[in-house]
Structure 1
Amino acid sequence: MLSGITLDRLLTYFFTYTVIVTAESFWLWQFLGRLHPLIVHFPVGLLCIALFLEVISWFRKSTELRAGINAMLWIGAISSVVAAVFGLMLVNQEDYEGKGVAIHQWSGLATMLLAILTIIALRSGQVMLYRSLLVLTVVGVSVAGHFGALLTHGEDYLTSVLPVGGKPNAPGLSGSNFAFASMGSNGQLTTKQIQDLTVEVRSILAHNCYSCHSATKTKGDLRLDQKALVMKGGKHGFILKAGHPEASEIIRRIRLPADDKEAMPTKGNRLTEKEIGLLSFWIKAGAPWPGGAEKSIYRVAALEPRLPVLPAATVDITNPIDRLVNVYFHKNKIEWKSVVDDRTYMRRVYLDIIGLLPTPTQMQAFETSDKPDKREALVKELLSRNSDYAQHWLTFWNDALRNDYSGTGYITGGRYDITKWLYGSLRKNKPYNWFVRELISPNKESAGFIKGIKWRGTINSSQRTEMQAAQNVAQVLLGLNLKCASCHDSFVSDWKLADAYAFANVFADSTLEINRCDKPTGKMAGRSVLYKELGTISVDAPTEKRLRELADFLVQPKDGRLYRTLVNRIWAQLMGRGIVEPVDVMDNEPWSQDLLDWLAYDFVQNGYDIKKLIYTITTSKTYQLPSVGIKDADLVKASTYVFEGMVRRRLTAEQFADAVSLAFNPIYQDTSVVKMLPKTIQKEIVFPRASLVKNDPFLTALGRPNRETVSTSRTSQANLLQALELTNGTTFNEALKRGAERWKAKYPSSDLLVKELYRKSLGRDPMPKEMAVAQKIVGAQPSVEGIEDLVWAIALHPEFQLIY
């Protein structure tokens, strides 16, 4: 890890950290557990090769392979131990159960023991015992591997491909893991499942078939882009028989070998088994295609604002958010939980509003205060810290507005940053309507957003700067995906290619020619706003005038979508999950339409003030509920999601770096970005916050995107890159080493050092067991290496890494 990783030191970290972390499942153990198959598949497999070579050596009566066999035995045996440890982590972190799990687990442990005994027998010179144990070890590997495969791939993993003994499956349903395979109580698909299934099917057809079978090209008189035409078939007749995929021509054609002259598609990639299975399942279900009009399968959210009637307040539920959530809780039979304690709340709002940890003094003063409105007062105080607020929320807006300090486009002059304008806008809390207006009808400092990146060389027509502007404005400000429609008519919405080009043409200095799938059509684009109810663009006006008109149209109070999109993004940032998910698909169903509508309406009535919105949310009882841990990240965005409170999440890359900087030692010393800001603002900046430094491997590993494209959400899941960077990364290592030297000089006593470190990083004193372990790590007379190790362990502690 820190100053050169060794096996002994890694094991020390492992057991030390196991003691320090109490009661809470941690991402690193879950991540290491999931490396179990990687360790098993190759290194342990070397034991099988070792047996094979041992047999060859035995027959040849030769020792020339002995060195290689010994190396394989050692690698395989050590790997079996690591695999067993990781396997135990995995079974304790994930929801594995049943007889197969037990057999796999015990056969794996038996294999580990046999591998160790094999090494011992080899070293003691007992050749016959060694060879017998090696055979048993390989048997153990085979048994454990077989049952591991059954856990991963299903119990019919081997038998399903045999000519006899396998279970027959309906066409397209073999191994189906589609959400649509779950029928309703009457054995039929629900209306929602039919809608989702049809969208999936149309997506497959659009990606694989439209190049030959759509309005622009109708090979064999077959079109697959409309319901009636799909059912009609082509010049060779019907392509499907509802209810019978095995008798449907489309299934026969896509299953033919690639070299067959009748195989479809004739060019490009073949359909995957999952795609073929889904098409087969759709046909088996009767080939449903709901509604007469093509638009009817997609939900389209209302554009206009709406003020829902607020439910009556109660003695303890007065905040409008809580009153609306209370109705939702009653509907979903959810009981209100007690709000979090003062320490948890204070840490939460500090990180959410200004991105920093509270100091021990601030924490103690807040916890001991008996003022009834101290939480409301705390939020007001944090929101008044304009510089800290701007430095924290700069990360959020840099991601969304693809603003960065280095990277593609800057050297060639094909990209412009908006840092000075953005920082100033956040610092003075510019009303959101003016914020949007200045992005769309920009001054020199804010022009970088709609100018996009002027890429060098030949690019796809959908990547030209005008189309980038259209895509980015639609995505960031309206929660709308235009990327599909920038190449062809969208298959996930009702937006057409002509719509995307008409909107992109608003940003263009000359009229754009429409390109379909990067091929010119000879048709020139019109000019219009996406939502024509908002206004009509002056088609022949100069670009600057058109942009002013567009800005005026979009920021109107009647554009409810603009403000719903904003409040949904802020809610997601503070609560870990939007009212609508994904946050870029605002046509999706919200878990509470009334809450979304009320927040947006209230936001407009309060002068488009983002800080007031944050205050309303963070002072609600809803925000103060205990956080909810969700194991599977996919469940957060699932349509079946039920809101129960803030979703527990990891610190962002910038929050983590700043937390380490404040609690222990500044990670960054580079002030080049800070110097881009006005000198009056530079004086307010105490240390280079991570939001104000150029991207590097450390921040990239922890989740900062490269910002060449819009990024409106970051994953809260750990990954291999992060694990490696936190274990042996240069930036983190050097900061810990510098800090350890400083702390050693300041705190000669391990007792005082440990206490102060815990207070600054976790906001509390260490527990007796933690103190004992920590003192053992740093030593009676603290060493630099020991301090590094302790800080590393605390920095990976769930209590430090997570927002509870």
Structure 2
Amino acid sequence: MLTKKIGFILLLSILFISIPAFAQGPAHDSPFWLSQLFGRLHPMLVHFPIALLLAAAVMELFTLKNSHHSFRSGIRFLVVLGAISAVLSAAMGWLLAENEGITGSTLDLHRTVGLISAGLSVFLLVLLRKSELNPSTSSIKTYRFVLFLSSIGVGAAGHFGAALTHGEDYLTEVLPQNSDQEAPHSLTVDLGTFASELSPEKEIQLVTNVRSVLAHNCYKCHSGAKIEGDLRLDEKEFVFAGGENGPIIIPGNPSQSELIRRISLSKNHKDVMPEKGKLLSKEEIQLLTLWVEKGAPWPDGVAQQSVYRVAALAPRKPNLPPAKPGLENPIDRWVDQYFEQNQLSWNTPVDDRTFLRRTSLDIIGLLPSPQELAAFQADTNPNKREIWIQNLLDRTDEYSQHWLTFWNDALRNDYTGTGYITGGRFAITDWLYTSIRENKPYDQFVRELLNPTQKSKGFIEGIRWRGTVNASQRTEMQAAQNVGQVLLGLNLKCASCHDSFISDWKLDQAYAFANIFADSTLEVSRCEQPTGKLAQTKILWEELGEIDSLATKAEKLRQLADQLVQPANGRMYRTVVNRIWKQLMGRGMVEPVDEMDNEPWSQDLLDWLAVDFVENGYDLKRLIYQITTSKIYQSPSVAVSSAEKLMSEDFKFQGVIRRRITAEQFSDAVAEISAPLFDSVEVKFRPYQLIPEAKTNLSFARASLVANNEFLKALGRPNREIVSTSRDSQASLLQALELSNGKKLNKSLVKGGEKWTVAFADPVALTENLYTKALLRKPSPQELEVAQKALGPNPNPSSVQDLLWAVFLLPEFQLIY
């Protein structure tokens, strides 16, 4: 009886909603108002089946061991109500799509999943009734399976619905790996350039900027992925064809052009475009208006012009500016030219204490000792700074253990074994440490990552997640994304799902690149929808060479390695030079460092350094030496109030950016001054087991060798399941809480308090020695007075703990000046 009643209710619901659609008839030019009204109820009603069926599925989990659980009546109510609302929601959604003129592949996917989910929910009601009448194990299992499937279905339909209303990246844009993928700002142009009669070249320039404005503001609703109002703005023929209400452009007459009218309306007007998000700027509106006024020119050849800045691929070595006294280093010569162009002046180099601390932390990740500072200050050799830097680079194991952190982040190498799934990930630690220690030439380093041995395969093998994952995260696509990001400064994440909204990269190109890493030919999926089209096999830049699509995977990888490391691939070497520059200077010449198509503050310096790097044996240590021996590296640091100012378009380079020491540097410094933070169980990599002579004189385990933990994560070490090429240098509330109440630091302070109390009974001697070791200076009279009051005449472990903690929290301790 229940089944009949439910079926009757569903039938009435569908008929009731469908009547307005039938009443409209095919001859009507506009939708019947009642049909539109019911359609627009879809966004409200759609939340019911999502919430109800998901809640029912969660509650059902509690009944797995007892099918007669007290939740049973509640689950039954939720399933019945959820199924009815799923059918109603699907019907209303159909009306909404039909009446509002929305089309596109994302809508097709949303509609298909929604209808399937609605159908499953009806079937679920039948199975529910069957399981109640005949509560056998098989009937209950079938019912549960369909319930879980239905809940997944309505959740997926909801996700695609959110993609329609908020953009395809609405959910994924907040993930850590995508947090830096904002669309670039529209181009700023001088409209006076186009005031006179347009030459063919200026026509191309004008429409290129017009396409940039459309791409950044309109494509989310008016492109192949989503077509509202039958209007597409991503290709010439669609722009001039217009939408459901006819042409949107009247060439030569902006006042009569619907496009110009709508983008010029106020924020709250019902016809304003973009309907959601930020309105076009005054300059962007003026640009589009001028374009229409000029007749809306769109030369055929402009279709191939990028609306985004695209950096050159080929290497380029500009002629060095002439040397000046004190500015012999090639880097300083380029910086001097930049300073002259921007009316900036040089500062006096930092003192020996600041220099020693900065270089030691940057090159080996450790604080210099007071004895090293005293010897350095007493040295009268005019080349003592160059000698000191070379000595740091020659401290092979300390150097390797420090830079291991940098490469672990970038190559998402971790010490947590195979991850969630047995055999799901592969560590490359042994190979990586050996490569850093040997200062392996970078071209060979990359070659072994792309055409790997058993020990270096982890990077391109990716992470194999449990069960079915979305197509853009299959291991072959992970390899394409990670290689693009780390080695080429290229974002392929958007293009792995659909044609990118933030660059010219297309879905087919991403799949063609991913196909190189595949054992068999991949089928292209667009927004998780298989297209039935098989991917080609191509490198991202065909001028670098071809990949044999019929070759084995091993042969394809060999070909890829050979082609990417060739000197003709200037992009790869600009990318690594830019990464090392940022690591030492605090900001890349190009920012973000994973977006190498962005404009550098000095194209000449970047290009020259990249070619010089290739010409001198791909030597990373030499590059570090070249940067750190420059006068600009040894200049006073520049304080920047926020990360946004570092990324701003009007950024002016003036020198090293003042930055916070990393989680690993802080941990090592605390361990050396107070007591080790990590015990032997947490040390996951012991270099001396791989290389016997890799033992150092340190009395503690370097933080770079331990597995990730809550302390290191709070201080900024990233989750290495994804590539991470930048760390936030800004302090955070989580850091403050960890440094104030964290167990690890407190445990170290307790031991440190005992150690310092045993070593120094006099509060003055204790304070002076602590400041000298931690800050490479004596305490000021005021600091000494405060410390004496805190310690008392006879320091005890508790009071020394407080003094240690206070020193560790000083900006002078935590920042690289």
Relative to the length of structure 2, the TM-score reads: 0.70
Matching of residues 266-305 of structure 1 within 5 Å: 272-274=276-278, 277-278=279-280, 282-283=284-285, 285-286=287-288, 292-293=302-303, 295-305=305-315
Q: 1:323 to 1:741 in 2, by over 3 A?
A: same
Equivalent of residue 247 in structure 2, options 238, 251, 259: 238
User: Matches of 1:441 and 1:183 in 2, distance apart?
Assistant: 44
SS of the equivalent of 2:319 reads coil
Matching of residues 465-544 of structure 1 within 5 Å: 465-544=475-554
Pair 1:348-2:358 in alignment: yes
Residue type of the alignment partner of 1:286: L
Pair 1:638-2:651 in alignment: no
Q: 1:423 to 1:656 in 2, by over 3 A?
A: same
Q: 1:681 to 1:202 in 2, by over 3 A?
A: farther
SS of the equivalent of 1:601 reads helix
Residue type of the alignment partner of 2:396: N
Q: 1:186 to 1:390 in 2, by over 3 A?
A: same
User: Matches of 2:633 and 2:555 in 1, distance apart?
Assistant: 43
User: Matches of 1:566 and 1:304 in 2, distance apart?
Assistant: 15
User: Matches of 1:193 and 1:329 in 2, distance apart?
Assistant: 32
Q: Name the structure 2 match of 1:654.
A: 664
SS of the equivalent of 1:446 reads coil
- After TM superposition, the structure 1 stretch with the greater mean CA deviation from structure 2, 243-252 or 739-748, is 243-252
User: Matches of 1:192 and 1:784 in 2, distance apart?
Assistant: 71
Equivalent of residue 673 in structure 1, options 653, 671, 684: 684
Equivalent of residue 790 in structure 2, options 777, 786, 790: 777
Matching of residues 379-390 of structure 1 within 5 Å: 379-390=389-400
Matching of residues 688-703 of structure 1 within 5 Å: 688-703=701-716
Q: Is the 8 A contact 1:664 1:757 kept in 2?
A: no
Q: 1:405 to 1:254 in 2, by over 3 A?
A: farther
Pair 1:720-2:720 in alignment: no
The alpha-carbon deviation at position 551 of structure 1 amounts to: 0.4
Q: Name the structure 2 match of 1:52.
A: none
Residue type of the alignment partner of 1:737: V
Q: Name the structure 2 match of 1:421.
A: 431
Equivalent of residue 767 in structure 1, options 753, 758, 780: 780
Q: Is the 8 A contact 1:674 1:688 kept in 2?
A: no
Equivalent of residue 231 in structure 2, options 222, 230, 235: 222
User: Matches of 2:241 and 2:222 in 1, distance apart?
Assistant: 16
Residue type of the alignment partner of 1:229: F
Q: 1:596 to 1:280 in 2, by over 3 A?
A: closer
Q: Name the structure 2 match of 1:555.
A: 565
Q: Is the 8 A contact 1:653 1:702 kept in 2?
A: yes
SS of the equivalent of 1:477 reads helix
The alpha-carbon deviation at position 572 of structure 1 amounts to: 0.7
User: Matches of 2:266 and 2:512 in 1, distance apart?
Assistant: 38
Percent identity for Structure 1 against Structure 2: 54
Q: Is the 8 A contact 2:417 2:427 kept in 1?
A: no
Equivalent of residue 395 in structure 1, options 399, 405, 420: 405
User: Matches of 1:633 and 1:209 in 2, distance apart?
Assistant: 33
Residue type of the alignment partner of 1:753: L
Q: Is the 8 A contact 1:239 1:250 kept in 2?
A: no
SS of the equivalent of 2:532 reads strand
Residue type of the alignment partner of 1:802: L
The alpha-carbon deviation at position 760 of structure 1 amounts to: 0.8
Matching of residues 31-46 of structure 1 within 5 Å: none
SS of the equivalent of 1:286 reads helix
Residue type of the alignment partner of 2:702: R
Pair 1:571-2:581 in alignment: yes
The alpha-carbon deviation at position 293 of structure 1 amounts to: 2.7
User: Matches of 1:627 and 1:193 in 2, distance apart?
Assistant: 41
Please give the per-residue CA displacement for 1:572-616, whole angstroms capped at 9, x wherever unaligned. 110001111111111111111111111111111111100000011
Q: Is the 8 A contact 2:214 2:233 kept in 1?
A: no
Q: Is the 8 A contact 2:263 2:280 kept in 1?
A: no
User: Matches of 1:698 and 1:194 in 2, distance apart?
Assistant: 52
Q: Name the structure 2 match of 1:173.
A: none
User: Matches of 1:584 and 1:492 in 2, distance apart?
Assistant: 13
The alpha-carbon deviation at position 793 of structure 1 amounts to: 1.3
Q: Is the 8 A contact 2:512 2:535 kept in 1?
A: yes
User: Matches of 1:518 and 1:470 in 2, distance apart?
Assistant: 17
SS of the equivalent of 2:455 reads helix
SS of the equivalent of 1:345 reads helix
Residue type of the alignment partner of 1:278: L
SS of the equivalent of 2:306 reads helix
The alpha-carbon deviation at position 252 of structure 1 amounts to: 8.5
Pair 1:683-2:695 in alignment: yes
Q: Is the 8 A contact 2:565 2:572 kept in 1?
A: yes
Please give the per-residue CA displacement for 1:752-784, whole angstroms capped at 9, x wherever unaligned. 111111011001111111001111122221122
Q: 1:288 to 1:605 in 2, by over 3 A?
A: farther
Q: 1:739 to 1:631 in 2, by over 3 A?
A: same
Q: 1:180 to 1:556 in 2, by over 3 A?
A: closer
The alpha-carbon deviation at position 205 of structure 1 amounts to: 3.2
Q: Is the 8 A contact 1:674 1:682 kept in 2?
A: no
User: Matches of 1:333 and 1:714 in 2, distance apart?
Assistant: 31
SS of the equivalent of 2:708 reads coil
Please give the per-residue CA displacement for 1:276-335, whole angstroms capped at 9, x wherever unaligned. x23897446536789833533222211111111111112221111111111111111111
Q: 1:469 to 1:320 in 2, by over 3 A?
A: same
Q: 1:245 to 1:673 in 2, by over 3 A?
A: farther
Residue type of the alignment partner of 2:603: Q
User: Matches of 1:439 and 1:356 in 2, distance apart?
Assistant: 29
The alpha-carbon deviation at position 518 of structure 1 amounts to: 1.2
Count of aligned pairs: 612
Equivalent of residue 810 in structure 2, options 772, 797, 803: 797
Q: 1:785 to 1:526 in 2, by over 3 A?
A: same
Q: Is the 8 A contact 1:630 1:648 kept in 2?
A: yes
The alpha-carbon deviation at position 273 of structure 1 amounts to: 4.2
Q: Name the structure 2 match of 1:743.
A: 756
User: Matches of 1:251 and 1:415 in 2, distance apart?
Assistant: 53
Q: Name the structure 2 match of 1:134.
A: none
Pair 1:596-2:609 in alignment: no
Q: 1:685 to 1:525 in 2, by over 3 A?
A: farther
SS of the equivalent of 2:374 reads helix
Q: 1:431 to 1:208 in 2, by over 3 A?
A: same
Matching of residues 51-90 of structure 1 within 5 Å: none
Residue type of the alignment partner of 2:751: R
Q: Name the structure 1 match of 2:742.
A: 729
Structure 1: any 5+ residue segments left out of the alignment?
1-177, 265-269
Equivalent of residue 461 in structure 1, options 465, 471, 495: 471
Q: Is the 8 A contact 1:240 1:248 kept in 2?
A: no
The alpha-carbon deviation at position 513 of structure 1 amounts to: 0.4
Pair 1:207-2:203 in alignment: no
User: Matches of 1:791 and 1:562 in 2, distance apart?
Assistant: 45
Residue type of the alignment partner of 1:782: P
Q: Name the structure 2 match of 1:162.
A: none
The alpha-carbon deviation at position 700 of structure 1 amounts to: 0.8
User: Matches of 2:777 and 2:266 in 1, distance apart?
Assistant: 67
Q: Is the 8 A contact 1:360 1:763 kept in 2?
A: yes
User: Matches of 1:461 and 1:185 in 2, distance apart?
Assistant: 43
| Larger RCO, structures 1/2 (Cα 8 Å, 6+ apart) | 1
User: Matches of 1:798 and 1:196 in 2, distance apart?
Assistant: 45
User: Matches of 2:539 and 2:187 in 1, distance apart?
Assistant: 40
Q: 1:628 to 1:280 in 2, by over 3 A?
A: closer
User: Matches of 1:295 and 1:233 in 2, distance apart?
Assistant: 22
Relative to the length of structure 1, the TM-score reads: 0.71
- After TM superposition, the structure 1 stretch with the greater mean CA deviation from structure 2, 470-479 or 403-412, is 403-412
SS of the equivalent of 2:482 reads helix
